[in-house]
Amino acid sequence: MTFHTPALMVMAIAMMFTTAAIAQDSGESLLTEITEAWLASRHADRSSEAFTHWNEDGEVPGTCAVCHSSIGLREYLQGPMDTVGMIASPVMLGSVVDCATCHSAAAATLTDVPFPSGVHLTLGPGAAVCSVCHQGRASTQAVDAATGVLALDDVSAELGFVNSHYAVAGATQQGSAAHGGYEYPGNTYAGPFTHVAETTSCISCHSPHSLEVDLNSCTACHSGAASPAAIRTSQVDYDGDGDITEGIADPISSLHAQLGTAIARYASEVAAAPVVYAIGAYPYFFNDTNADGAVSDGEAVFPNRYQSWTPRLLRAAYNYQFVAQDGGAFAHNPHYALQLLYDSLADLGEAVPVDITPLTRP
Ligand code: HEC
Ligand code: HEC
Ligand code: HEC
Ligand code: HEC
Ligand code: HEC
């Protein structure tokens, strides 16, 4: 189904809801409201990189189409889903995350969602279809497969950066059930962040159409919170700064920053090649050619991508990116994010001085 105008799309969706108890008049204004909210959301942004990246190729390859095209997602859900996140053939350009993406019969009844680690999880309505696209493209298993039996601190020309991909909320939320982060051998990790029964699905916090999070829906329980990022219930001082009233987002960003520093130190001292991270530039880790610790002109370009990986560095860098690419990690699974960061710091600390004594692992 391709919609050429919002009006046609609304009519088509209205037909899907004929059995719903929506009286015709209020139904029309509800649909207009929903359509306007969707049109203003990133899911409808036809000009975004997420929907235009393949314009020069003329089609979206089957390896990308599942999450970057309504047509691809619908084909995937109708098929056996036996290759995670992929369909066999390319699809045509130009379809976004439209109404039919989430309201097809297959999407509405979806419960079994395969993740990149190979596990299948049973998810409810308002979470299952979201988690098909917001699950990332890698996992603990992908990092282990890349590093194989190489010695932890040996630079290997065979290694390249393993990218979790973007907006990985569904993987973060499932924690150790999905293995979306790099989970160090021998450690245990937080499972799904079920929060409270009222706010377990994606759409209990996000409007499925505007995608926004309404702070008022949080303050019923988290009274007085000035923003979602200011919410805190944990009573442990994970980052050791003496403050357990700051939002749980704060220790996450503090440990994340410390991990960035530790990665840079390890790269210089053990891999003997300084590294910089550039959030907007693929593949994110580049040679710090002038060793100034910052992204200088001309450094964040593909030919200058970092190529002095050791297994230990790759694991830590994977987790650094995984947390960086989920701006809502503090709400999706704060303790899982803190564990990944803490363990990455501790592991780098086996090779270079990293002071984790002020930190507490959740
Ligand atoms: C499992 C789902 C999934 C698959 C498969 C997938 N992507 Fe994505 N990708 C996403 C999501 C979700 C985003 C949106 C991130 C955002 O901008 O919020 C994204 C964003 C992007 C972006 C925009 C990044 C930016 O910084 O704006 C590019 C480029 C991209 N993907 C390329 C690819 C390519 C190339 C493939 C196939 C080789 C691919 N993706 C396969 C889910 C996926
Ligand atoms: C990203 C997924 C997604 C997209 C895109 C999407 N919806 Fe929805 N929509 C949902 C979910 C999830 C629900 C709530 C679950 C349910 O009631 O089935 C919902 C609910 C609805 C409802 C019932 C609302 C109510 O209050 O009873 C209507 C009507 C609707 N959507 C229409 C649309 C239209 C029209 C579009 C396109 C303009 C659209 N949706 C796009 C996921 C989506
Ligand atoms: C077909 C794949 C697909 C499905 C299904 C999907 N999304 Fe997305 N989502 C994307 C892509 C791609 C982007 C990035 C779009 C862009 O960059 O313009 C995105 C962006 C977002 C954003 C970021 C908005 C922002 O302003 O940063 C949120 C939040 C989001 N989706 C939540 C959801 C929720 C909740 C659901 C389920 C109700 C859902 N998504 C279903 C692919 C999907
Ligand atoms: C019905 C009550 C309720 C509502 C509504 C609610 N929460 Fe919570 N929230 C809780 C409880 C209880 C906990 C502690 C759960 C736990 O630790 O497992 C919690 C924990 C959290 C945490 C983790 C804090 C920490 O220090 O570990 C975050 C973040 C959070 N909620 C965000 C939100 C956001 C964002 C919203 C609104 C979209 C929201 N909550 C709505 C009850 C609620
Ligand atoms: C407890 C509430 C809560 C739940 C449940 C939740 N989110 Fe979020 N999400 C947030 C908050 C808070 C943010 C931060 C951005 C904001 O404040 O709008 C966020 C951010 C995001 C972003 C943007 C990330 C970025 O990098 O900017 C995406 C995408 C997203 N969520 C998708 C999902 C999906 C998919 C699910 C279900 C698997 C989900 N969320 C479940 C509260 C929640």
> How far from the centroid of its chain's Cα atoms is residue 56's Cα?
26
Q: Which of 11, 103, 109, 123 to mutate to test the pocket of ligand 2 (most atoms within 8 A of CB)?
A: 103
Spatial contact of 250 and 230, defined as CB atoms under 8 Å apart: no
Check pocket membership of 256 for ligand 3, CB cut-off 6 A: no
Check pocket membership of 129 for ligand 3, CB cut-off 6 A: yes
Place of tokens 């995608």: 211
Spatial contact of 315 and 162, defined as CB atoms under 8 Å apart: no
Place of tokens 């809801």: 17
Atom of ligand 2 nearest to the CA of 108: 18
**pLDDT for 12:** 55
Mean pLDDT of the chain: 94
Burial, 187: exposed, middle or buried (Cβ in 10 Å; 0-12, 13-18, 19+)?
A: middle
> pLDDT (tens digit, 0 to 9) for every residue of the chain, 362 residues total?
444 444 455 555 555 554 454 556 677 899 999 999 999 999 999 999 999 999 999 999 999 999 999 999 999 999 999 999 999 999 999 999 999 999 999 999 999 999 999 999 999 999 999 999 999 999 999 999 999 999 999 999 999 999 999 999 999 999 999 999 999 999 999 999 999 887 889 999 999 999 999 999 999 999 999 999 999 999 999 999 999 999 999 999 999 999 999 999 999 999 999 999 999 999 999 999 999 999 999 999 999 999 999 999 999 999 999 999 999 999 999 999 999 999 999 999 999 999 999 999 99
Closest CA to 237 of 219, 262, 258, 254: 254
How far is 98 from 128, CA to CA, in rounded Å? 16
Closest CA to 270 of 353, 336, 181: 353
How far is 62 from 68, CA to CA, in rounded Å? 10
Q: Which of 42, 113, 137, 322 to mutate to test the pocket of ligand 1 (most atoms within 8 A of CB)?
A: 137
**pLDDT for 17:** 54
Q: How far is the CA of 266 from the centre of ligand 2 (A)?
A: 48
Check pocket membership of 103 for ligand 2, CB cut-off 6 A: yes
**pLDDT for 1:** 40
| Ligand lying nearest the CA atom of residue 43 | 3
How far is 85 from 98, CA to CA, in rounded Å? 18
How far is 208 from 202, CA to CA, in rounded Å? 8
**pLDDT for 75:** 97
Closest CA to 165 of 116, 221, 222, 107: 116
Check pocket membership of 13 for ligand 4, CB cut-off 6 A: no
